[in-house]
Amino acid sequence: MDISALKAKAAEIRTQLLTMIHAAKTGHTGGSLSNTDILTALYYHVMKVDPQRPKWEERDRFVASKGHSVESLWCILADLGFFPKEELATFSGFGTRLIGHPNNKVPGIEMNTGALGHGLAVSVGMALAAKRDGSPYRVFCLMGDGEQAEGSVWEAAMAGAHYKLDQLVGIIDRNRLQISGSTEEVMGLEPLEEKWRAFGWHVVSIDGNDMEALVKAFEAVPEQSGKPTLVMANTVKGKGVSFAENVPHWHHHVPNDDELALALKELAAERERWTREGQVQGQ
């Protein structure tokens, strides 16, 4: 997809995830909205995946370490054909595969996540296996910024640098809000970029809701041979819904009927804008 198509697709995914959360009456709304652009860039432009062969050995791996923000991932996997779109209607229902965290019983999910701090360590193992096997695949691990308070993240960071895993890409959804408030009030993280550099990682800081910047950063990996890459994706929690942006309450707020209608109206206008721009560019 070109950039305009990716932006239109992100608006479509946000529409689907809000509709799904509203129907289920549960979900982590704010973080799923903030990470949608990241996942859209990865799955529709950057990563090598095949919905018909979810266990293809040379596929790129994606680990959602911030597993609670799974709604955008479910919508993308369904849209790509890893499982039927109709199954989205079962989200968080009794007996469903589509629970509130990634579930590896679903094609396209590499590991169960939810307890924060575990995803990067497993991603290090995946990347180390690729390096030792001489396999070409890359491993992308999405973490939350509140997750950076977990000690296991930093143990994994040391291991990634020690083994020179340049096929490994850590991504931090740096929206600066977590369930109990600002990350800097709950557990100060700054200077976060300098900490990752000190642990031996190549750090790239971008606007994590800027599709061009995301594609450019991900396509450049590995930018430095022998070093894992950390993409500091500075995002807006609740991105795409004007009245949800940067509002801590929307961490797991379920939109009511009026909020959903207003949000879908905004997203429809956004999708139409980028679809129209893509058509103009294609003429």
Which residue ranges form the domains of the chain, and what is each CATH number?
3-282 (3.40.50.970)
pLDDT of residue 181: 83
pLDDT at 262: 98
Cis, bond preceding 191 (omega within 30 deg of 0): yes
pLDDT at position 160: 98
pLDDT of 179 reads 84
The dihedral formed by the CA atoms of 63, 69, 72 and 77, expressed in degrees to the nearest 10: 40
Q: Please give the full DSSP string across 98-134, using - where no structure is assigned.
A: --SS--TTSTT--S---STT-HHHHHHHHHHHHHHHT
Beta partners for residue 62, in sequence order: 140
Q: pTM above 0.85? A: yes
SS3 content of the chain, % helix, strand, coil (to 5): 50, 10, 40
Instruction: State how far Cα 174 lies from the chain centre.
Output: 11
Question: Which residues in the chain land under pLDDT 50?
Answer: none
What is the reported pLDDT for 283?
58
Q: What pLDDT shows up at residue 252? A: 92
In this prediction, residue 165 carries a pLDDT of 98
Tokens 């001489």, residue located: 134
